[in-house]
Amino acid sequence: MPTPKQMEKLASRPSRQPEAPVATPGPADDLPEAYWDSIIRDPRGQIRTGIPIQQRRLSEIPRHVLRVTCRRCDRIVEIQTVDAVRLYGAHAVWKDVGMKLLDDGCREQTGRLEEDGCWPSFETT
């Protein structure tokens, strides 16, 4: 039986379990959740129609300049919408175009081939 003093000590402990070891993603793991979050719901990409700008075709984006930034290395690539249309076609989806613009590799290299490359974040300004 624990002594009253030991009981007190036990009671003062946080009720949750001892901290679980932080799982470090291995090479076989999927991309981190944050990566998908950045693609699936980027609040800045939401416009009135509800279609995120990065899922629109170039012809559907009422902007003169398109900008994509990398969440990892903070690289910013801008392209005039007319240039993007000329290079990739009016029906190209901006997400695909943005990925191509960032395609020459990210400055934040993980050393793991499947994760290298920028994490695009699409801005509307």
Binding site for Zn ion (CB under 5 A): 70, 72-73, 106, 118
Q: Quick one: tokens of 123? A: 């801005």
Least distance to Zn ion, CB of residue 104, Å: 10
Q: Which is nearer to Zn ion, 72 or 95 (CB)?
A: 72
User: What length is written for the chain?
Assistant: 125
Least distance to Zn ion, CB of residue 24, Å: 21
Which bin fits 67, alpha (ψ -120 to 50), beta or left (φ > 0)? beta
Least distance to Zn ion, CB of residue 72, Å: 4
Q: Which is nearer to Zn ion, 70 or 84 (CB)?
A: 70
